[in-house]
Structure 1
């Protein structure tokens, strides 16, 4: 049904850490732009400090590449924001889902609709 896979990460900025978070976000975005298979990598922020990151990949290999690259920034990211929720979208294989096991993601499989 859908060939792309992805996930959504939700987090809460830690008090006084917005500037640090924005700096690490920009560093990750700059690196992620080099990943050919990353189709979407979008950050959203509420006035109350709620963060949502939408990530979509063309295939499993691209998702693995992204997670490996993200690992280089994880310590700085988590120092500035506390992950609160993760949702896996699509037919993610067990080995990819295992890379996010610490966040106990909700796994949503394709049901209907379309992709372009």
Structure 2
């Protein structure tokens, strides 16, 4: 039904850390653009600092590559905007889900719909 897999990450930017977070996001977006299998990598931020990141990957290997690259930014990213929630989207294998175990992601399996 769904070819791709991905996740949603939610976070909250700490008071006074918006500029720090923006700089980290600029860096990681530039690096992520080099990943051929990352199909969607979008950040959304509310006026009061709530963050939602939508990530979609071509396949499991592409998701592993992205997580490995993200590890280079994780400490700075989480220091500026601690994660509050994560949702896995699709049929993610256990070895991939385990890489996010610290965030206790909820797994949502394909149910219906389409992508153009």
Aligned to 1:39: 39
Aligned to 1:9: 9
* Residues 17-96 of structure 1 aligned to structure 2 (within 5 Å): 17-96=17-96
Deviations 1:83-108 (A, max 9, x none): 00000000000000000000000100
TM-score (norm 2): 0.98
Distance in 2 of aligned mates of 1:7 and 1:104 = 12
CA RMSD of aligned residues (A): 0.5
Q: Unaligned stretches of 5+ in structure 2?
A: none
Q: Unaligned stretches of 5+ in structure 1?
A: none
Distance in 2 of aligned mates of 1:50 and 1:114 = 28
Deviations 1:8-46 (A, max 9, x none): 000000111000000000000000000000000000000
TM-score (norm 1): 0.98
Return structure 1 stretches of 4+ with deviation > 6 angstroms.
none
Distance in 2 of aligned mates of 1:5 and 1:71 = 19
